[in-house]
């Protein structure tokens, strides 16, 4: 009997899931449970895009617990002769100690719950599905895969936060995020372009959340996110780099900590600058000058951070764009690369417009490429390996 792996990626009001089967971990279906806080919407598609299920839970509330059994029953019905062996979870924060995927135990759950002050927005959302699955299927192996783990290889200079050492302790440091996405890109590059993968590459994960990662031989040596996922690039609704004096000023004007948190996470970024939306597609379709200003700032900050990361790498052999905006927004890629002509970068205009895999001219010294993100595949690989080892089954 073959073994199957279910992956869960929990957000603020939704959970993305995917089912992988067989020894090759072939993706059998992908889906999402949206609107968890009210009237959840459950849908899934096969790899060809055919709708397998679409169901609404009218009047249901209560988060993931309310629709968990429906999801597990749906998965069981699509397993055929396979058996669900494990569930893998994306956990945003692993702190300083959790630097590789781990099987979930009560001790691990307690350790992760203790990290909640480091990321009070994401950690409760990540841990809730783990607890729900444990209650529904207590014998089912669960594996936690950490978004911060890939950046554990960053050197000390890239990790330090310059506040008094006594205040920083072991927890206040730069962690980096989107690690599962970067790890997948590093693995994919090693498969298709091993020479480039062994070199100096900057990966641009551009979605609602956005960041860059500088890789040397497939290992993270620097990134734009730091202690929190607020740092670095301008994002859909997050501010990115900001002068700490702005935060002091807002506090002095009577804003509470909760108010400031809401401003920085939910009201800033592209939405804050444009006053219209945090969605790049909406801004591209708008004639409002502030929409153009927001997009220009987005590209300006990305290009500037690429320059800094190129310094950390000591040069640059390639750039990879990934995630929703990175894969599909040709104009954003153009605006970024146009600002980096001084580094010797250029685009093949037609290839960029087609979202081709390679969008730089053949004679360009620095390759510019597009690779689709696939965090779920990375989670599935880790989950199958760790579950097999921890159960005593050969990996």
CA 34 – CA 320 distance, rounded (Å): 30
The DSSP string of 355-375 is: T-SB-S-TT-SSEEEE----H
Active site residue 147: yes
**Cβ–Cβ under 8 Å, residues 76 and 85:** no
Three-state secondary structure call for residue 244: helix
Model-level pTM?
0.93
Q: Which of 119, 147, 231, 374 is catalytic?
A: 147
Q: At a CB cut-off of 8 Å and minimum separation 6, what does 43 contact? A: 31, 32, 34, 51, 53, 54, 55
Q: Cα separations (Å) of 148 from 13, 165, 358, 366?
A: 22, 22, 28, 28
pLDDT (tens digit, 0 to 9) for every residue of the chain, 395 residues total?
A: 688 999 999 876 778 999 999 888 999 999 998 877 777 888 899 888 899 888 887 766 656 776 888 889 889 888 888 889 999 999 999 999 999 999 999 999 999 999 999 998 889 989 999 999 999 999 999 999 999 999 999 999 999 999 999 999 989 999 999 999 999 999 999 999 999 999 999 999 999 999 999 999 999 999 999 999 999 999 999 999 999 999 999 999 999 999 999 999 999 999 999 999 999 999 999 999 999 999 999 999 999 999 999 999 999 999 999 999 999 999 999 999 999 999 999 999 999 999 999 999 999 999 999 999 999 999 999 999 999 866 544 33
Residue 83 β-bridge partners: 3
Burial annotation 129-160 (CB, 10 A radius, 16+ → b, else e): bbebbbeeeeebbbbbbbbbbbbbebeeebbe
Tokens standing for 151?
Answer: 């950046």
Q: What are phi and psi of 215, to 5 degrees?
A: -115, 135
Residue 8 · residue 71 · CB < 8 Å = no
**CA distance readout (Å), 234 to 169, 206, 240:** 28, 10, 5
């Amino acid at each position: 009997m073959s073994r199957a792996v279910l992956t869960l990626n929990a957000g603020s009001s939704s959970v993305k899931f995917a089912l992988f089967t067989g020894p090759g971990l072939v993706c059998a279906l992908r889906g999402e449970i949206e609107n968890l806080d009210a009237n959840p919407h459950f849908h899934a598609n096969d790899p060809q895009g055919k709708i397998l299920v679409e169901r609404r839970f009218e009047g249901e509330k209560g988060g993931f617990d309310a629709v968990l059994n429906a999801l597990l029953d749906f998965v069981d019905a699509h397993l055929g002769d396979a058996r669900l062996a494990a569930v893998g979870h994306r956990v945003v924060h692993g702190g300083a100690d959790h630097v590789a995927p781990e099987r979930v135990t009560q001790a691990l759950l307690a350790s992760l719950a203790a990290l909640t002050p480091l990321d009070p927005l994401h950690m409760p959302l990540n841990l809730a599905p783990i607890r729900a699955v444990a209650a529904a299927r207590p014998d089912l192996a669960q594996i936690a895969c950490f978004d911060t783990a890939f950046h554990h290889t960053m050197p000390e200079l890239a990790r330090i936060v310059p506040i008094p050492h006594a205040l920083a302790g072991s927890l206040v440091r730069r962690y980096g995020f989107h690690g599962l996405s970067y790890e997948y890109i590093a693995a994919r590059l090693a498969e298709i372009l091993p020479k480039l993968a062994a070199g100096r590459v900057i990966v641009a994960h551009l979605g609602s959340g956005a960041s860059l990662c500088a890789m040397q031989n497939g290992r993270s040596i620097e990134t734009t996110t730091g202690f929190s996922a607020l740092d670095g690039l301008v994002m859909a609704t997050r501010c990115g780099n900001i002068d700490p004096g702005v935060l002091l000023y807002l506090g002095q004007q009577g804003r509470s900590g909760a108010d400031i948190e809401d401003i920085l996470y939910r009201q800033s970024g592209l939405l804050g600058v444009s006053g219209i939306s945090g969605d790049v597609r909406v801004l591209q379709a708008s004639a409002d000058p502030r929409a153009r200003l927001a997009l220009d700032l987005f590209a300006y900050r990305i290009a500037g951070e690429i320059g800094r990361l190129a310094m950390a790498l000591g040069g640059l052999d390639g750039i990879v764009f990934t995630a929703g905006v990175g894969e599909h927004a040709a104009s954003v890629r153009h605006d970024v690369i146009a600002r980096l002509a001084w580094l010797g970068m250029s685009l093949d205009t037609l290839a960029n417009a087609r979202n081709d895999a390679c969008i730089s001219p053949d004679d360009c010294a620095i390759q510019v490429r597009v690779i689709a993100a696939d965090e779920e595949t990375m989670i599935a690989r880790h989950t199958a390996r760790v579950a097999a080892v921890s159960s005593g089954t050969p990996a």
